[in-house]
């Protein structure tokens, strides 16, 4: 691949200053039409591509970046958005947020709409799954750049930023086994969403590594809310042999389970251990405090923003595809600490 042409190459060719070339390319009225035409012709000859970020900033136009999430009122997504803003705001980009409520049709419309509003990029945590991902791809192809974060789909032309959900699920389950738990239940949210499936795989592999039998009665798929968690826990405790621990892919579901267990006087962690996922703020201040897997949401947001900036700073015809995986961190609190 030959070296990319710069404004210096154009300046050299025309024996003018780089500043003049820059002004000409940005339609500065101080530059004569003749010079401007010369610069443009030379730029074309040398196959020069303007850096889109630089153009956007110099043109002084407002730059919007769309962020699309299932819900804004989960601490996780709010924190990712904070990370995105921390990275993009100092560079002059405004973040506009939309929530899909996990409705695929709405997600498509929202994205189409952001494209129509001519945003400079869209960062999406999608509710589409592998089963219907092509429906979404049709919309995405019309615009660039696009970045998926957290809830991702894999397409050759779209970068992703995730955490290591598999390792998070594995570590949480192994920790429960190390606490002496023998019958570990699992709350799954949606098997068709890759990240939940990865946590589930981590759970199964940890059981298998330690020779703990997998019991499908102990795996419940539920909505990520308190009420669903209560019902699921009730179902588990009414089994002939109830479990002695839960690794939950949802902190909100686990909260309902904890409330149910407390209502029937099951002692946590003495009789029953629990570990959640997401490290929602309430997990810290509940009594007992709840162990959970932290997803480094602010870092995830910053990383997604950085991948976006790299794309916009590159030439339009250079395709960057990146899959960034950040570590998942198990935070151990009282709810799974049998041994001091």
Q: Is 73 in the site for its own copies (CB under 8 A)?
A: yes
Sign of the alpha-carbon torsion through 247, 251, 253, 259: positive
Helix (H) or strand (E) holding 185: strand 184-188
Q: Tell me if 208 contacts its own copies by CB under 8 A.
A: no
Q: Under rule CB under 8 A, how many of the chain's residues touch its own copies?
A: 37
Among 40, 78, 237, 298, binds its own copies (CB under 8 A): 78
C-alpha 75/C-alpha 311 separation (Å) is 28
Shortest separation between residue 164's beta carbon and its own copies, angstroms: 24
Nearer residue to its own copies within complex by CB, 96 or 331: 96
d(CA 184, CA 5): 60
Q: Which of residues 112-141 bind its own copies (CB under 8 A)?
A: 112-114, 116-118
* Plot region of 27 (φ>0 → left; ψ -120 to 50 → alpha; else → beta): left
- The answer to the question of residue 305 lying near its own copies (CB under 8 A) is no
CA distances from 302 to 3, 214, 223, 242, 307 (A): 30, 38, 28, 42, 9
The smaller minimum CB distance to its own copies, of residues 118 and 238, is found at 118
The reply to whether 55 sits near its own copies by the rule CB under 8 A is no
Rounded to a whole number of angstroms, the minimum distance from the CB of residue 152 to its own copies is 22
| Helix (H) / strand (E) containing 147 | strand 146-149
How far, in Å, are 62, 201, 205, 255 from residue 166 at the CA level? 40, 6, 9, 22
- Please report whether residue 155 would count as binding its own copies according to CB under 8 A: no
Which one, of 333, 340, 141, lies nearest residue 251 by Cα? Answer: 333
Q: Are the CB atoms for 206 and 270 separated by under 8 Å?
A: no
Q: Which stretch binds its own copies (CB under 8 A): 36-44, 95-103, 161-169, 307-315?
A: 95-103
Residue 226 as a binder of its own copies (CB under 8 A): the answer is yes
Under a CB-based contact definition with an 8 Å cutoff, are residues 153 and 193 in contact?
Answer: no
**From candidates 81, 123, 309, 312, binder to its own copies by CB under 8 A:** 81
Which span sits near its own copies by CB under 8 A: 2-10, 111-119, 206-214, 264-272?
A: 111-119
Binding site for its own copies (CB under 8 A): 61-62, 64, 66, 71-73, 75, 78-79, 81-82, 85, 89, 94-99, 101, 106, 109-110, 112-114, 116-118, 226, 255, 259, 282, 285-287
């Amino acid at each position: 691949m030959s070296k990319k042409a710069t404004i210096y190459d154009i300046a050299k060719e025309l024996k003018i200053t780089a500043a003049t070339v820059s002004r000409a390319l940005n339609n500065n009225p101080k530059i004569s039409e003749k010079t401007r035409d010369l610069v443009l012709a030379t730029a074309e000859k040398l196959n020069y591509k303007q850096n889109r970020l630089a153009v956007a900033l110099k043109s002084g136009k407002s730059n919007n970046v769309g962020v699309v999430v299932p819900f804004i009122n989960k601490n996780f997504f709010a924190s990712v958005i904070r990370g995105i803003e921390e990275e993009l705001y100092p560079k002059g980009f405004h973040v506009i947020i939309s929530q899909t409520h996990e409705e695929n049709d709405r997600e498509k419309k929202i994205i189409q709409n952001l494209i129509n509003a001519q945003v400079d990029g869209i960062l999406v945590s999608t509710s589409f799954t592998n089963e219907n991902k092509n429906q979404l791809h049709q919309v995405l192809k019309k615009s660039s750049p696009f970045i998926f974060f957290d809830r991702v789909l894999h397409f050759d032309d779209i970068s992703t930023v995730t955490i290591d959900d598999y390792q998070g699920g594995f570590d949480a389950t192994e920790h429960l086994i190390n606490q002496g738990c023998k019958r570990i239940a699992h709350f799954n949210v949606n098997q068709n969403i890759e990240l939940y499936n990865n946590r589930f795989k981590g759970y199964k592999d940890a059981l298998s590594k330690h020779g703990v039998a997998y019991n499908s009665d102990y795996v419940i798929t539920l909505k990520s809310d308190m009420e669903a968690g209560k019902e699921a826990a009730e179902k588990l405790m009414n089994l002939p042999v109830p479990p002695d621990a839960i690794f939950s892919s949802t902190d909100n579901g686990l909260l309902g389970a904890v409330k149910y267990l407390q209502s029937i006087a099951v002692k946590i962690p003495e009789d029953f251990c629990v570990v959640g996922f997401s490290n929602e703020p309430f997990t810290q201040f509940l009594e007992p405090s709840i162990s959970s897997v932290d997803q480094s949401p602010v870092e995830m947001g910053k990383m997604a923003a950085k991948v976006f900036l790299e794309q916009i700073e590159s030439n339009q015809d250079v395709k960057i595809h990146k899959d960034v995986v950040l570590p998942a961190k198990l935070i151990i609190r009282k709810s799974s600490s049998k041994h001091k």
